[in-house]
Amino acid sequence: MLTTFMKWIATAVLVSSLFPAVVLGYQPLGYQGVLQFLVAAGAVVVMFQAAAMSKYRWMLAFGAVACLFNPVVPVRFSAAPAIALNTIALLLFGFSLKLLKTPPRLSIASITDRMPGSESL
């Protein structure tokens, strides 16, 4: 649930950063720190999800996104590479929403349960 929520937040932030850059032709500078923090946090969460699912290529891809959007030591790009990087990150988060789904957890076994191993809500 948290992973899906973070994926949607990162996707929304990336879309909101691409809209003025593509449509209006400029990048607003006021929220770059917030963009970097939210995208990096989302990438770290997805990276841990991919590691738990043994999807190491996804883990490396989101590790790279987390490094490039790092708010502590920011990496600065000019306008065209920044738009390309935001688009690639947006596509990664979009594909991860569809392709990286955590299987539901099984309920805890009980000594009084007649059907052990049934799925929890």
pLDDT by residue for the chain (121 residues), tens digit each? 777 888 888 888 888 877 766 666 666 666 777 888 888 999 999 999 999 889 999 999 999 999 999 988 888 887 788 888 988 999 998 988 888 877 777 766 666 656 655 565 5
Query: 119: Cβ–Cβ under 8 A, 6 or more apart, which residues?
Result: 104, 105, 106, 107
pTM for this predicted structure:
0.74
Tell me the C-alpha to C-alpha distance, in Å, between residue 75 and each of 15, 33, 66, 72, 117.
20, 11, 11, 9, 47
C-alpha to C-alpha distance for 23 and 43, rounded to whole angstroms: 26
